[in-house]
Chains A and B, each alone.
Chain A
Amino acid sequence: MFFSKLIKKFGKINSAVLFICIILLLLEFAGHRHGEFKIEEFLFFPALFGYISCIVIFKIGVALRSIFMRDEDYYD
């Protein structure tokens, strides 16, 4: 019931990705995850880093639109 609602609201592929995300978070507890640096060993560090990085890239990208974006025939 919950899954059918989720799929209806969020779409099949998006729900699948969400499901995989949850599995990956749970797998964190299946063994000791070490990193190249100590900070990486914090709980869910790669997940948070990936999510935040993507948002930051998007935000900076949007901000840069106003600075670097010109008409298509700018050089013509």
Chain B
Amino acid sequence: MINSLPPGFIMFIGAFLIPFLPKLGRQVYMIFLVLLSAFSLFNGFGTHLTINVLDYNFIINHSDNLSLPFAIVFHIAAFITIIYGAHKDDWKENVAVISYAGAAIAALHAGDLFTLFFWWEATAFTSVFLILGGNTTRAYRAAFRYIVIQVGSGMFLLAGAVLFLYSNGNALLGQMSIDDTSGLLIFLAFGIKAAFPFLNGWLQDTYPEASEVGTVALSSFTTKLAIYALARSFAGTDILIYIGALMTFFPIFFAVIENDLRRVLAYSLNNQLGFMVVAVGIGTELAINGAVAHAFAHIIYKGLLFMSMGAVLYRVGTCKASELGGLFKYMPITAVCSIIGAISISAFPLFSGFVAKSLIMSSLGYEGLSFIYFMLLFASAGVLHHSGIKIPFFAFFAHQSGHKPKEAPLNMIVAMVIGSVLCILIGVFPSIFYQILPYSVDYQPYDFSHVISQLQLLTFAAFAFICLWHFKIYPPELNSTVLNSDWFYRRMFPAVISNVVNGLKVFNEKFSLNCFKSLTTIKNFFHDIMFENKIIDREAGFDAQIILQIFGIIVFILIFIHI
């Protein structure tokens, strides 16, 4: 029975013992849980556990070639995050990290939509505590917005699942179409978590508000779970190519003007998700391999970048580019790890980003999607600009900020070094890395053309940045808020609703006043006729009243007869 439980389940359940353990015991116990969970990955492919309730088969544990690479990297991410957070004595955060990672891993093994829904919501409810861990008023507010949106995504999934079950007689998690209402609802649910354009505001709004450990955990699971779900159910859906291309394109500009470096990374995360979504949209074996490889590599190098910025935040107390600079001297190991992460995300040869992104670019080439290809090539230059250069440059170089912090704690350094080594190993030994991908692949990323083209693209983009900086054309970073799609529900909708309510209130007041005035005028008018013009005096008044009363009675009778 224990063997047939889905990987991650033991982490989710085991998390509830954490509050009763001492600090050191907690870390050891958490790592033990991750290893125990990872052990279940050796069960092999197939359906290992189904539970029948009310004639419905919940497929609790299903594993295949698509879920395995995601499960492997989710375990690696959980392991690294636990080490990274070992300096903190915060059992609440520990519970959140391990149960969140467990829920995400268990979600990968869901074989039907209702099981997926359960874990989908579990990831939302566990991860919100990581944002609350930011312990600021902004974090509390962001956490509230986050849970509303994440639960909203779950509701779309549930509605889609119910409709899917009604129309198909089963709710298996397999290939779907957006032409059906059920498919469209599920697509929307996945799209919210994958941060599609205009549904992405929650990502940049909330991730940077979490604690330094929380952000690392958040960056690994939720969005990649959505990519997995899209690859599982909507591979080859053409619209994803265009959605993904927009996702790679727009966040670049926002990342360039953003001041908070963790928020820059959140935009960058959005941009990287775009590459994966494009690949899922293409849907060929090479493209799906590219999406999975990119998600795998991305979790590690993005985690590494978030870890390095988290270390800066932990030591300096801020992550704003305008208040940082010159930290290389004081935090050299963190800086080197950050640079390795930056080089990896920029996709320099011999680093993980290159061997993953090449698969996607080549699959675009094979499909002849030239416009999308060049959009992604443009986005690649943008990645170098905002993640490859901006992150390490403004934090560790640029100008002297006056901060003289200590190097990051040992546990943080260990976690970052593990991440850095993985980035390099994946880049240096792509053939081993490619073996865990869903489809067998005969692809060689290191040929003359690929390497020279990529190096020219990136080096000249870097040279352009150098020119802009050297000749003082690059504007200084400013303390600011950059408007994003969350503006619609944080500012526009409240403003519209407030204006409508106020408008109705004013209208009601004016309407009441005018009605009162009109009635008074009418009353005065008749008053004038009846009294001031002496229609009702003793001689004519009684006659007039009698005539009026008779007339009234006749009218009443006529109306009554007519009805």
Contact = CB atoms under 8 A, between A and B. Distances in A.
Given A33-B452, A36-B373, A71-B480, A24 B466 contact: no
Given A47-B457, A47-B459, A55-B464, 11 more contacts: A14-B470, A33-B448, A33-B449, A33-B453, A46-B456, A50-B381, A55-B468, A58-B385, A61-B256, A68-B483, A72-B481
Contact of B361 (A17, A21, A36, A61): A36
Interface centre among A14, A52, A58 (most CB of B within 10 A): A58
Nearest to A69: B480
Contacts of B461: 50-51, 53-54
A36 B385 contact: no
Contact of B459 (A21, A34, A56): A21
Interface string A33-47: 111110010001111
Contacts of A71: 480-481
Contacts of A20: 459
Contact of A74 (B252, B478, B481): B481
A14 B381 CA distance: 18
Interface of A: 10-11, 14, 17-18, 20-21, 24-25, 27-28, 30-37, 40, 44-58, 60-62, 64-65, 67-76
Interface string B244-266: 00000000111011000000000
Contacts of A24: 452, 455-456, 459-460
Say whether chain A's binding surface is mostly helix, strand, loop, or mixed. Answer: helix
B252 A50 contact: no
Contacts of A40: 453
5 contacts: A53-B377, A54-B384, A54-B464, A58-B464, A75-B491
B364 interface: yes
Interface string B345-372: 0000000000000000110110000100
Given A37-B365, A55-B464, A60 B253 contact: yes
B248 to A, nearest CB: 12
User: How big is chain B's contact interface, by range?
Assistant: 35 or more
B99 interface: no
Given A27-B452, A57-B252, A37 B373 contact: yes
Nearest to B470: A14
A48 B460 contact: yes
B435 interface: no
A37 B482 CA distance: 36
Contact of B382 (A57, A73, A76): A57
A20 to B, nearest CB: 6
Contact of A68 (B257, B365, B381, B491): B257
Contacts of A62: 257, 475
Contacts of B474: 58
Contact of B253 (A49, A61, A73, A76): A61
Contacts of B364: 36
Given A57-B253, A58-B474, A50 B452 contact: no
Interface centre among B382, B449, B479 (most CB of A within 10 A): B449
B462 interface: yes
Contacts of B465: 54, 58
A71 to B, nearest CB: 7
Nearest to B481: A74
A46 B349 CA distance: 15
Contacts of A21: 459-460, 463
Given A35-B453, A50-B464, A58-B468, A17 B459 contact: yes
Interface in B67-86: none
Contact of B470 (A10, A50, A76): A10
Contacts of A32: 448-449
A75 B482 CA distance: 11
B470 A11 contact: yes
Contacts of B92: none
A40 B126 CA distance: 47
Nearest to A74: B481
Given A53-B461, A55-B464, A65-B475, A46 B256 contact: no
A40 B456 CA distance: 12
Nearest to A72: B479
A56 B257 CA distance: 13
A31 B464 contact: no
Contacts of A35: 365, 449, 453
Nearest to A27: B452
B381 A49 contact: yes
Contacts of A18: 463
B505 interface: no
B481 A75 contact: yes
A76 B141 CA distance: 10
A38 to B, nearest CB: 9
Given A35-B449, A37-B365, A70-B480, A54 B456 contact: no
B48 interface: no
A40 B307 CA distance: 37
Nearest to B322: A72
A30 B392 CA distance: 33
B482 A68 contact: yes
Nearest to A41: B449
Contacts of A74: 481, 483
Nearest to A58: B468
